[in-house]
Amino acid sequence: MASAADVEAAIALWRDASTPVHRRCLAARAIGLLGERPPKWRVEGVDDDESPLARARRRGCADFQRRRLAEIRAHQKEESIDKMGQLGAQSIEAVIRLLRNKTIERDKRIAAASVLGGLRCRDGLDALIEVLTEGHQNLSNACTHALTEIGSRMGSRRLMQIVRGRYPLAARQEAVYSLWQLGEKRAEPLFIQVCGSLDTEEEYTRDMATEALGNTWRRLGTQKALRNRLFDPSVSVRYSALCACSMMHPQPYAFPQFLREAIIAKLNDPGRVDDNRVIAQAAAALLGQDSQP
C-alpha cells in the first residue's frame, strides 16, 4: 500500500506530484488491486509514455480489469449453480439433457444454456451448437451468449457450416455473431462472401459479417472487402465497414492507400443509421479530421 493506510490514502499519494515516484507507482498498483476504480490518468506528472509512472498506471489498470473480471466470473458461477438447483439438475450432464429436450418449456432450455455459459462448460459446446440450429430467436441467442462466454473455438467449423447451410435465418445470424465474438479468423472468407451477397443475404446478416472483418483487418482480402462495403447500398453496412476499419485506428499508417481513398470519399456521404451513427462523422474520426458540412 506504499505506506498508505487505505485505498483513499493511496489515491491521495497517486495524485500528489510531490510524492516520490516509487511510492506513487506502488500507490497506482494498490489502487488497481484494491480500489473501486482504476488509477486515473489525469494527474500531475503522468503522461502516456514509457515513464515509470505511466507504466505503473497501465499495470494498475490491468490489475483492476483482471480483478473485476474474476469477480464477475465468480458471481456468474454462483448464479449458474443456483440455476442448476432451480432446474432440478444435479450435474452438467443433466443440464445438457435439459437443453436438448425439445418437449420442455423453452424458458428452461434458455436457463440451461445460461448455466453452461456461466460455468464455461466446454462439454456443452456440441449441445449448444445443436440447439442454436433450431432457430428459435431467444433460445438461439442464449446459446450464442453461452458459446461466447465459454470462449472456445472448438465448434467454429460447425458454426461456419451453419452459416453456409440451409438453416433458419435466426440460426445463421447467431452463428455469424458467435464466430465474430470468438474472433475466429478462419471465418474471414466466409464473412467476405456473406457481406458481399447483396441479393441473397438479409441486411443484418451482411451488417454483422462486415463488422466481423475487423478481426482480420491486417489481411489484404479483408481490406479490399471493406473498401467495397464502404460503397454498399445499405447505410448500416457502410457504417459497419467503418467500424471494422476503426480496428486499425490506433495505427493510422496501416490504412493502405486504396482504403484511405475510400474512407475519404465517405466524408461526403449523407447516410446515417441514426442520430449517433453518421457515416461522414465516423469517416472523419478515422481520418482525424473534422466532419465535412
**Residue pLDDT, tens place only, 147-167:** 999 999 999 999 999 999 999
What pLDDT sits at residue 77? 86
What pLDDT sits at residue 249? 63
Residues with Cβ within 8 Å of 37's Cβ and at least 6 positions away in sequence, in order, are 31, 64
pTM for this one? 0.80
- C-alpha–C-alpha distance, residues 199 and 149, integer Å: 33
What pLDDT sits at residue 100? 97
* Contact present, 138 and 171 (Cβ < 8 Å): no
Phi and psi of 212, rounded to 5°?
-65, -20
What pLDDT sits at residue 290? 47
What pLDDT sits at residue 203? 97
Q: Which fold has domain 88-182?
A: Leucine-rich Repeat Variant (1.25.10)
Q: Which fold has domain 185-293?
A: Leucine-rich Repeat Variant (1.25.10)
Residue 165: exposure state from Cβ atoms within 10 A (0-12, 13-18, ≥19): exposed
∠ CA 170-173-178 to the nearest 5 degrees?
A: 120
What pLDDT sits at residue 36? 86
Weakly modelled stretches of the chain, pLDDT under 70: 1-3, 249-254, 289-293
* Contact present, 39 and 69 (Cβ < 8 Å): no
What pLDDT sits at residue 142? 96
- C-alpha–C-alpha distance, residues 165 and 250, integer Å: 37
